[in-house]
Every structure is written in C-alpha cells, then in structure tokens.
Amino acid sequence: MGLKLFLVVMGWWLIHPIHVSVTDVEYDEDRKALEFTSRIFLDDIELHIRYNRNQPYLDITAPKNELTSDQLVKDYVMPLLEVQVNGKTKEIDYVGHEIDGDAVNVYYQVLNVRKFRSITMKNNILLDFYTDQVNMVHVKFEGELRSMRMTPDEPVSTLKFME
C-alpha cells in the first residue's frame, strides 16, 4: 500500500511541477543602490516568451532572426516589475541576464536609494501564465533577511525595515 501511494504522489508531482521564481535583493550602501537577482526556471520563461510572441519554436538561448536572448529576457521581465522605495516609485535599470543550468538569472537595479526604510514590489513574472505561480523575494538589509511572497491573487507586497 505504501509503495502505491508513493507512486501516485510522485506521478501527480511530475504532471504538476512547481512554478516559482526567487528574487534576492541587497542594498549596497556604498553605491546607494538596490541590487536584484531574479532566478526563473528556463523552461517556464521560454514557454511564456514563446506564447507572448506567438513563436512556438523560439529558443531563447539561441534565437534567430536578429533577436538576442538578452533582448527577449529584458522585453519579457522588465514590464512585469515595479519597485517603490519609501513609498516612491523608482526606475528599474536592467543590467543583464545569464543562463545558469535550468534557470535564467536576471539582474537589475534601482539607483539613488539614499535612505531605505521600506520596499514595495510588484512582481508579475509568470503570474498570468500559471495559476500556482509563486514569486518569492528575499530582501537583505543591515544584516536582516526578510521575505515577500507574490501570487496571482496578491502580486504586490511591502516590507518595512524602520519606522
């Protein structure tokens, strides 16, 4: 009986994979900048880019027709992000990306962050594509690590560090 239950659970897990992205945020005091790294599963982001571009055979690691993987990733990710620092919307600068095994690491930053008391982030990456998508954001500031969780029902979250 135990083996059958195990096989059923494993079979269910294989047809219902986890849909998650993880973003790490660090405040660089010297640069007065928030530095972001979002890690997104390559197959998920590629599938969504294909869908959005109506190109079922697009390979984002080696695109054709004068497309670059950097432009594809940037065009997909950047419109889906919003950041407020201390209640004020900030411009997000795309830095680049790299393929890391089965994931894409996307790098971006917010400059000119003088005082950092709170961060509000909207992270819609893959939220309209997978109903079970979860976007985790981990913020490291002054030795403290705190997390936010975004879902299709709640794509925005806020952390306060000082009052």
Per-residue pLDDT at 85 exceeds 50: yes
Residue 41: name the closest of 94, 101, 122, 130 by CA: 101
* Bridge partners (DSSP) listed for residue 40: 21, 104
- The residue ranges of every structural domain in the chain are 19-160
Least confident residue range of 15-19, 24-28, 61-65, 141-145: 15-19
pLDDT band at 7 (very low <50, low <70, confident <90, very high): very low
Per-residue pLDDT at 8 exceeds 70: no
pLDDT band at 133 (very low <50, low <70, confident <90, very high): very high
Query: Cβ distance 121 to 22 under 8 Å?
Result: no
pLDDT at res. 163 = 56
pTM confidence score: 0.87
Mean pLDDT, the chain, as a whole number? 89
pLDDT band at 100 (very low <50, low <70, confident <90, very high): very high
**What's the DSSP call for residue 126?**
T
Tell me: domain 19-160, CATH 1.10.3470, correct? no
